[in-house]
Amino acid sequence: MQKGIVRIAYAGTYANAKAKEATEKMLAQKGVKFEEWPGGAEALLKVLGRGIKRSRGAGGLFKDLPHDKFGEHLAPPSNLV
């Protein structure tokens, strides 16, 4: 665990209960909070979307990246390998 991490938020259901329990125990020992993101995956996506939109403006990291690249990288995965 990296020094300085104090909170990890996850979105959606954590289906592997045994791994979740072990993860929570390990994080608690390190003093790290493990919390579900309020509002779930859609709320997290909204926050990420706002950040990307801001980064496409003047001076932003993505200001020169063509619009079609966003569709290319955000399209549903055809192969997860």
Q: Given this model, what pLDDT does residue 37 score?
A: 80
- How many domains does the chain fold into? 2
Helices (H), 8-64: 17-29, 40-55
Contact 5, 35 (CB under 8 A): no
Q: Given this model, what pLDDT does residue 61 score?
A: 93
Q: Given this model, what pLDDT does residue 50 score?
A: 92
Total-model pTM:
0.53
Reading the chain (81 residues) residue by residue, the pLDDT tens digits are: 667 899 988 877 767 767 888 888 999 999 999 888 888 778 888 988 999 999 999 999 999 999 888 888 887 777 655
Tokens of 27: 């994080």
- CB burial of 37-61 (b: ≥16 within 10 Å; e: otherwise) equals eeeeeeebeeeeeeeeeeeeeeeee
> Is 54 part of any domain?
yes
Residues 23 and 47 in one domain: no
> Is 12 part of any domain?
yes
Residues 46 and 32 in one domain: no
Over the Cα atoms of the chain, what is R_g? 17
